[in-house]
Chain A
Amino acid sequence: MTFPEHLWLIPALPLLAALVGAFTPRAQRKISSAAALLAMAASFGVACAALSSALAQPAAHQVSNFTWMAVGQFNLQFGFLLDPLGAFMAVMVTFVGFLIFLFSTGYMRDDENYAKFFCYLSLFAAAMLGLLVSNSLLLTFLCWEIVGLASYLLIGFWFHKPEAAAAAKKAFITTRVGDLGFLLGLLWLDSALHTQLFYNNGVGFLETAALDYLAVALPCGLLVSSAIGLLLFCGAVGKSGQFPLHVWLPDAMEGPTPVSALIHAATMVAAGVFLMARIFPLLSPDALTVVATIGAITALLGAVIAVTQNDIKRVLAFSTVSQLGYMMLAIGVGCPEAAIFHLLTHAFFKALLFLGAGSVIFAAHHEQDMRFMGGLAPRMKITFATFAIGMMALAGVPFLFSGFWSKEAILHGAHAWPTSPLPFYIGLVAVVLTAFYMTRLMANVFFGAPRSHAAEDAKENSWVMTLPLALLAVCAVLLGFLGTPAWPWLQAQLTGTEISSAPDFAKIFEGPGLLATSIVLVALGLGAGWAVYGFQKRATASEPDPLEKKFPRAWAALEHRLYFDELYAATVFRLNNALAFVADALDRWVIDQAVCFVGKLGEFLGFINKDIDEQGLNAGFDATAGKIRDTAGAYSSAQTGEAHGYLRVLALGFVALVILVAVLSC
């Protein structure tokens, strides 16, 4: 029952490792990576123990709260929360994190800032894990911001590359836009309820009493709880790369590939989805409609753009955007457990894909453009096999792969949504597109003939890089069986419902032919992809894409990511620059002048004051101080140093006191 009291260990261990990393000299850089790996392994152990403790009572929210500071009436409480949602996430983050850390020891082998890299990674892990076990929205926000900082540091890790520095800045600023909403929601919540605790034995803000209290309609018809929920959703939109703040995520691929795998595929970008799942009770149907809409748009947008990208990591990045859209869609249609299921499976197979891409990039001497690859399958057998598993999981190849089951869960939820059928249809379209662009990627990277010297020279990497791939591939397959319709164990744990112990296979085929539809659609996507890219493989790096020949204008638009960056440059940046100009002018001509005037006035008053002070007061003080010093001097000369004089004073003092007391008392 007391396990939540130990939850702080989970984030504290990586934090300690970050501290060690920060003080590791360059020459002993192994200390930094060893500390990071050890801390992650230990955190994984604690997280597993936490999970088993949480699963003992899946419906309960075990909390351990403490007062962080109390100032007068104001009492700020922090706390840790243990429930299956957070515990599953913590196990996933520590496990995937550990594998990615291990992969990084190989990938970053030649980097001179190796120790610093692991320090940042540990800092990131600490903040991410803190976010997962937090029971306070404020603590969540603090961790959320540290996660953002770590992401900034890691994207810009190769800061000598101008693109990396720019991408880091872009990621930081874009997510800040969303965080502003988060902060406003947090403040509103605190002013309304005076608590930021999620659960606190009936008085947390996600519990019935508070929700009833917040169920007041605003003038515009929205409930207060929904308005707060939507403000918090702004934060999630920024962090999880949802439309319209998705622009930073593809650029974030300028960071080292393990960072992309850990932060921008598996964990950090999932924080937004996690947050929405955490505050799900706060959201009313109105707010959920907004979430579903944004999710559906993002899912489609990401998938469409991914078709046209040539950088292997950018394809995966847009695929991540699209999949995160799926998860948001699932939350919007009221199936947070399906969203978390997809989040978990996606974390494994997307980390696998990114690390696979990293393995390819590392082998091909940091070549990232697919047009210059080709023919890698026979050269890198393990990478190819594991990558193929990840690709099939992402594409949703039926039955054996985890992505199929989690995507299926989301489509079921979307189909059952009463408000509108549109998200369901958009989801179906995205299924086809996903299968299509992944087939394109496979064909371009692994098949055909090598189209550059780098690709010709590629060799399989050492075990520290392939072992994580293999382990992740196993998980990418097995994890799906935790949530099949036949035996939805994971969903049951997350919702805290009972589940029969034996699987019921008949349930798989229930429903209005959904399963068959999605299998057909996946097959369609794979087939179309192979038809376009498989039969006639790209021969040289410079030849245009087959689709580009057919639809040159649409292709160009998509390749430029639908001109979102340009749009923002033309609108938001312009507006910002104009505002900055106005602010600057105001500051320079109005405020500065006013300040100068006040300053001059103060100077003038000071001048008068000084005169009064010097002539009037100071002379008086000086006189007094002089008197005191004179007294002191006079007394000091009375201390002659003669011993019998001292004793005389002693006797005199005694006699004087006796007389005084005698007079007073008798």
Chain B
Amino acid sequence: MNAYYSELFSFHLPEVILTGGALLVLAADLLLGKFSSEPVRRALAALLGMLAMGFAAEALSPYLRGDTSALGQLCLLGLSGLTLLLIAGTSRLRHPAEHVALTLFATVGFSLMVTANNLLLVFLAFELSSITLYILAGFDKSSPASAEAALKYFLYGSVAAAFLLFGFSLLYGLTGEIELAELGAKLSVLPASPLLVIAWIMILAGFGYKAAAAPFHLWAPDAYQGAPAPSAALIAAGSKLAGMLLLVRLFAEIGFSPLGPALQTALALLIAASLLLGNVAALVQSNFRRLLAYSAIGHAGIVLLMIGIAPADPQMAFGDVLYYLLTYGLASVGAFGVAAVLEANDARGQKLSDFAGLWQRSPFLTICLLVFILSLAGVPPLAGFFAKFNAFYDVLGSLDSAALTSSPFFWLVLLAIAMSAVALYYYLQVLKQAFIAPAEETRPLRIALPATTALLFAAAGIVLLGIFPEHFLRLLF
């Protein structure tokens, strides 16, 4: 027994470190918080949180070569670390230690989602990350919008989680297995049945919620808009990456059979709806965060497109999704970071018009925004372009070249490319405000050091991943 537990401990060393770190943050704040001011407490909490992240990354490092899920965990740590920097650099909320600790707990959930190989653990990890994110969304107790966002997110999320749990239990009921590998083996010999259909669609609905894919996306605009900026960044970046990597693994381990073509058609419907709805609805948004939310729905369509090829080539799908969502996550965290800096300075930064004259106020911030937005739009040589290119290339490559036009995925790729052109319009709207529109407010912006660091890291990451993608991709393939 002892040996068994110690092994478990060493396998989950990163998660153990993160949990310990979160407890340490809380304890330190409890002991020292009384004697220090709010900024000091925030800095201390963030520092301890970053240290925990660093040690967790260090614990991961031996597995990086040859284990792509460890790389996924590392990317999640990186995105959460940037969020912590945003908390330290832009947040004015009370209870900073709880804020940091919850972010760490959420990261534990993400990390477990990437590594779980058992339906029960999958669900627990899913819920751990979701519940912490509900709290984080409502963390700004002074803002009614934050409370509303949290409540809607929670209501929607818990129903979706119920769907997911129901789906899982149906699978268990059909096969009597919860280990993913054995589950897959049993499922592959099972005949198609209505129960199986319901189970799969329930699972799809659960993950559709996590990815904010239409028609399970309705929570996203409200949550993005109301949540405090670091929380929104975490929801947009880390949560999505973890959820989608989990879905790739689920599909890879279990496979679609025996429902293959029918499920693919269902997936194709989700993809088409997300692409159309997300990109078109984003066109008329005047709120920066809602714009990001709708654009996220559009991106979810592309991610599901890559997941569609997961049963055929899990390794490639995993790599593509990781590369895509890492670049997307960096750009999202960065974009929310820019908004957060504006909010910290002016107490507003939600509307597109709040970005007017940004170039005069802070060239640094504007250049960062340029990098993030253009990467989201997929303009070369930034990473967003190569992620998109890579996705389309691999999806088309996996199709049967003789019967290309008969596959729905071929048409979906064309739709995605067309929608990229539509997306350019609303992305450029943001940049137009920042660069061209005359400034109402001309006060230069003050950017705290942690926020500068986070923005710089995110922007540098996007540029480097775009110019030298092979160094990252080599780790994956």
Question: A residues near B, CB below 8 A?
Answer: 628-629, 631-633, 635-636, 639, 641, 643, 645-647, 649-650, 652-654, 657-658, 660-662, 664-666
Nearest B residue (CB) for A652? B215
Q: Which residues of B contact A664 (CB under 8 A)?
A: 261-262, 265
- Complex Cα gap A645–B218 (Å): 9
- The answer to whether B156 touches A665, judged by C-beta atoms less than 8 angstroms apart, is no
Closest 7 CB pairs of A and B: A664-B262, A653-B215, A665-B262, A646-B218, A632-B284, A661-B262, A632-B283
Contact at B194–A635, with CB atoms within 8 Å?
Answer: no
Contacts of A647 in B (CB 8 A): 155-156, 159
Contact of B283 among A629, A649, A660 (CB under 8 A): A629
Q: How far is the CB of A267 from chain B (nearest CB, A)?
A: 38
Query: With A628-B283, A633-B284, A643-B156 in contact, is A658–B197 under 8 Å at CB?
Result: yes
Contact check, A631 vs B222: say whether CB atoms are below 8 A apart: no
Contacts of B218 in A (CB 8 A): 639, 645-646, 649-650
A651's closest neighbor in chain B, by CB? B159
Q: Given that A636-B284, A641-B222, A660-B269 are known contacts, is A628 also in contact with B422, CB under 8 Å in the complex?
A: yes
In this assembly, does B409 line the interface, its C-beta being within 8 Å of a C-beta of chain A?
Answer: no
When C-beta atoms are compared, the residue in chain B nearest to A654 turns out to be B205
Other A-B contacts than A639-B221, A643-B152, 18 sampled, CB-CB below 8 A, are: A628-B280, A628-B283, A632-B280, A635-B280, A636-B284, A643-B151, A643-B155, A646-B219, A647-B155, A649-B218, A650-B159, A650-B160, A650-B218, A653-B208, A654-B202, A657-B270, A660-B266, A661-B263
Judge whether B197 and A646 touch: CB under 8 Å: no
Q: Which of B218-264 contact A (CB under 8 A)?
A: 218-219, 221-222, 258-259, 261-263
> Is B22 located at the chain interface by the 8 A CB criterion?
no
Docked pose: A432 CA to B92 CA in angstroms:
91
Instruction: Please give me the residue from chain A that is nearest to B422 by CB atom.
Output: A628
A interface, over-half SS: helix
A660 to chain B, nearest CB (A): 6
Report which of B159, B194, B265 forms a contact with A660, defined as CB distance below 8 A: B265
One of A635, A646, A662 near B277 (C-beta < 8 A): A635
CA distance in complex: A646, B151 (Å): 12
Closest to A648 in B: B218
Taking the complex as formed, is B168 at the interface, i.e. its CB lies under 8 A from any CB of chain A? no
21 of the cross-chain contacts (CB-CB < 8 Å) are A631-B280, A632-B281, A632-B284, A635-B277, A636-B281, A639-B218, A639-B281, A647-B155, A649-B215, A650-B156, A653-B216, A657-B201, A657-B204, A657-B266, A657-B270, A658-B198, A658-B201, A660-B262, A661-B197, A661-B259, A661-B263
Please report the C-alpha to C-alpha distance between residue A632 and residue B221 in the assembled complex, in whole angstroms.
14
Tell me the complex Cα distance, A639–B270, Å. Answer: 18
A568 vs B357: C-alpha distance in the bound complex, in angstroms?
A: 61
Interface string of B396-437 (1 = CB under 8 A from A): 000000000000000000000000001000000000000000
The main secondary structure of chain B at its interface with chain A is: helix
Once A641-B222, A643-B152, A652-B215 are accepted as A-B contacts, the answer to whether A666 and B277 lie under 8 Å apart by CB is no
**Chain B residues close to A by CB (< 8 Å):** 151-152, 155-156, 159-160, 163, 192-194, 197-198, 200-202, 204-205, 208-209, 215-216, 218-219, 221-222, 258-259, 261-263, 265-266, 269-270, 277, 280-285, 422
A646 touches B283 (CB 8 A): no
Q: How close is B290's CB to chain A, nearest CB, in angstroms?
A: 9
Nearest neighbor of B159 in chain A, beta-carbon distance: A647
Query: A628-B283, A646-B218 given as contacts; is B155 within 8 A of A661 (CB)?
Result: no
Give bound CA distance, A633 to B283, whole Å.
9
- Tell me whether A661 and B200 are in contact (CB under 8 A): yes
Which residues of chain A are within 8 angstroms of B282 by Cβ–Cβ distance? 632
In the bound complex, what is the Cα–Cα distance between A661 and B261 (angstroms)? 9
Q: Select from chain A the residue with minimum beta-carbon distance to B202.
A: A654
Residues of chain A with a CB closer than 8 A to B156's CB: 643, 646-647, 650
Residue of A nearest to B259 (CB): A665
For A635, list chain B residues within 8 Å (CB): 277, 280-281
Given contact pairs A628-B283, A631-B280, A639-B218, A666 touches B422 in the complex (Cβ within 8 A): no
Measured CA separation A275–B194 after assembly (Å): 83
Chain B residues near A654 (CB, 8 Å)?
Answer: 163, 201-202, 205
CA distance A631 to B200 in the complex (A): 32
Judging by beta carbons under 8 Å apart, are A661 and B201 in contact? yes
Q: Are A666 and B284 in contact (CB under 8 A)?
A: no
Q: Which residues of B contact A629 (CB under 8 A)?
A: 283-284
Closest-by-CB residue of B relative to A630 is B284
- Bound complex: CA of A628 vs CA of B422, how far in Å? 10
Which A residues are in CB contact (< 8 Å) with B285?
636
- Alpha-carbon distance A643/B148, docked complex (angstroms): 10
Q: How far is the CA of A629 from the CA of B270 in the complex (A)?
A: 22
In the complex, which residues of chain A have a beta carbon less than 8 angstroms from the beta carbon of B281? Answer: 632, 635-636, 639
Smallest CB separation, A371 vs chain B (Å): 63
Say yes or no: B197 contacts A662, CB within 8 Å: yes
Residues of A within 8 A of B262 (CB): 660-661, 664-665
**Which of B163, B205, B221, B270 is packed against the most chain A CB atoms within 10 Å?**
B205
Whole-angstrom distance between the Cβ of A664 and the nearest chain B Cβ: 4
When distances are taken between beta carbons in the complex, the residues of chain A under 8 Å from B209 are 650
**Distance in Å: Cβ of B121 to nearest Cβ of chain A:** 25
A650 CB contact (under 8 Å) in B197, B216, B221, B261: B216
A661 partner residues in chain B, CB cutoff 8 A: 197, 200-201, 259, 262-263, 265-266
Considering the chains assembled together, what is the distance between the CA atoms of A653 and B269 in angstroms?
A: 11
Complex CA–CA separation, A167 to B126 (angstroms)? 77
B280 cross-chain contacts in A, Cβ below 8 A: 628, 631-632, 635
The distance in angstroms between the C-alpha atoms of A628 and B419, with both chains bound, is 12
Q: Contact between B205 and A666 (Cβ–Cβ < 8 Å)?
A: no
- Find chain B residues with CB under 8 A from A653 CB: 205, 208, 215-216
Q: State in angstroms the CA–CA spacing of A639 and B294 once bound together.
A: 12
Q: Give Cα A657 to B263, complex, Å.
A: 9
**A660, B263: Cα distance in complex, Å:** 9
CB-CB nearest in chain A for B284? A632
Q: How far is the CA of A652 from the CA of B155 in the complex (A)?
A: 16
In the complex, which residues of chain A have a beta carbon less than 8 angstroms from the beta carbon of B204?
A: 657
Interchain nearest-CB distance for B64 vs A (Å): 28
**Which A residues touch B265, using CB under 8 A?**
660-661, 664
A107 to chain B, nearest CB (A): 45
B266: chain A residues at CB < 8 Å are: 657, 660-661
By a CB distance below 8 angstroms, the chain B residues around A645 are: 218
The residue among A632, A633, A649 with the most chain B CB atoms within 10 A of its own CB is A632
Chain B min CB distance to A415 (Å): 61
Min distance, Cβ A648 to any Cβ of chain B, angstroms: 10
Residues of B within 8 A of A636 (CB): 281, 284-285
With A660-B265, A665-B262 known as contacts, the answer to whether A646 contacts B200 (CB < 8 A) is no
A657 to B265, CA, bound (A): 10
A655 to chain B, nearest CB (A): 9
With A and B bound together, what is the CA distance between A633 and B270 in angstroms?
A: 21
State in angstroms the CA–CA spacing of A290 and B152 once bound together: 91
Q: When A660-B266, A661-B200 are in contact, do A666 and B152 touch as well, CB less than 8 Å? A: no
Residues of B within 8 Å of A658, CB to CB, are: 197-198, 201
Return B206 CB to nearest CB of chain A, in Å.
10
Q: Which of A631, A647, A665 is the most central at the interface, judged by chain B CB atoms within 10 Å of its CB?
A: A665
In the complex, chain B residues whose CB is within 8 Å of the CB of A666: 192-194, 197
Q: Which residues of the partner chain A approach B200 to less than 8 Å between Cβ atoms?
A: 661
Q: How far is the CB of B24 from chain A (nearest CB, A)?
A: 37
The distance in angstroms between the C-alpha atoms of A289 and B106, with both chains bound, is 83
Q: How far is the CB of B224 from chain A (nearest CB, A)?
A: 12
> In the complex the two chains form, what is the Cα distance from A646 to B156 in whole Å?
8
For the complex, give the distance between the alpha carbons of A654 and B197 in Å: 11
Cα of A662 to Cα of B204 in the assembled complex, Å? 15
A555 to chain B, nearest CB (A): 66
| Complex CA–CA separation, A645 to B219 (angstroms) | 11
Set of chain A residues within 8 Å of B193, measured between Cβ atoms:
666
Cα distance A629–B422 when bound, in Å? Answer: 11
Cβ contacts under 8 Å, B259 to chain A:
661, 665
Closest chain A CB from B400 CB (angstroms): 19
Q: Which of B159, B163, B192, B208 contacts A665 (CB 8 A)?
A: B192
